[in-house]
A = this chain, B = another copy of it.
Amino acid sequence: MTKHPVFKPDPKLDLVLERTLDVPRELVWTAWTTPSHIPHWFVPKPWTIIDCEIDLRPGGIFRTVMRSPEGQEFPNVGCFLEIVPNERLIWTDTLLPGYRPAEKPFFTAILTLEPQGSGTRYTAIALHRDAETRKKHEEMGFQEGWGTVVNQMVEYIKSKMS
């Protein structure tokens, strides 16, 4: 596409996590889009992922089930919107798979991977409908949670995928 990207984070509404990772973006992409890799890094330990379903196409399902250390389960269902291998992954919980409007819309996630030397410039953006939802997401621990799982992902890539 020659035009500018259609998404534009707004500091009043959105949350952004940026990191430089010393692993190649192709491995980051694979870690993010493969159901068998996800459980190894996707939630801060000692939480676990006990199920993951990925249909990697626009409208396809992105489903995970988290389990707390106490054994409570939290399913998350989202819908993929854009898939540009090794570059950009966009999904939202505002829609269910197949584009049906969801009952409890919360955010859209945009993951961008750019090459930086032999590593990766990693940008995760969460788009919200209003400042209140942004604040709620921040208080739920967006920075800490997404930051922790990036570290877990890099460690996993280095020890198991490289």
Q: Is the CB–CB distance between B60 and A6 below 8 Å?
A: yes
Main secondary structure of the interface of A (DSSP, over half): loop
Number of A residues with CB within 8 Å of any CB on chain B: 35
Verify if A24 is at the interface (C-beta below 8 Å from B): no
Which residue from B59, B110, B133 sits with its C-beta under 8 Å from A6? B59
Provided the pairs A98-B6, A105-B105 are in contact, do residues A58 and B57 lie with their beta carbons within 8 angstroms?
A: no
Chain A residues 53-75 with CB under 8 Å of chain B are 55, 57-60
CB distance A105 to B101 under 8 Å?
Answer: yes
A29 within 8 Å of B (CB atoms): no
- Taking CB atoms, residues of chain B closer than 8 Å to A57 are 1, 3, 6
What are the 5 tightest A-B residue pairs by CB atom distance, in nearest-first order? A6-B59, A101-B129, A7-B98, A99-B108, A94-B101
- Contacts of A90 on B, CB cut-off 8 Å? 59, 99
Give every chain B residue within 8 A of A82 (Cβ-Cβ).
58-59
B92 touches A99 (CB 8 A): yes
Complex alpha-carbon distance, A103 and B55, angstroms: 27
A101 and B108 contacting across the interface, CB-CB below 8 Å: yes
Name A8's closest neighbour in chain B (CB-CB).
Answer: B98
Q: List 24 A-B contacts (CB under 8 A).
A: A3-B55, A6-B57, A6-B58, A6-B59, A6-B98, A6-B99, A7-B59, A13-B100, A58-B81, A90-B99, A92-B99, A94-B94, A94-B102, A94-B105, A95-B95, A100-B127, A100-B128, A101-B105, A101-B106, A101-B107, A101-B127, A101-B133, A102-B129, A105-B105
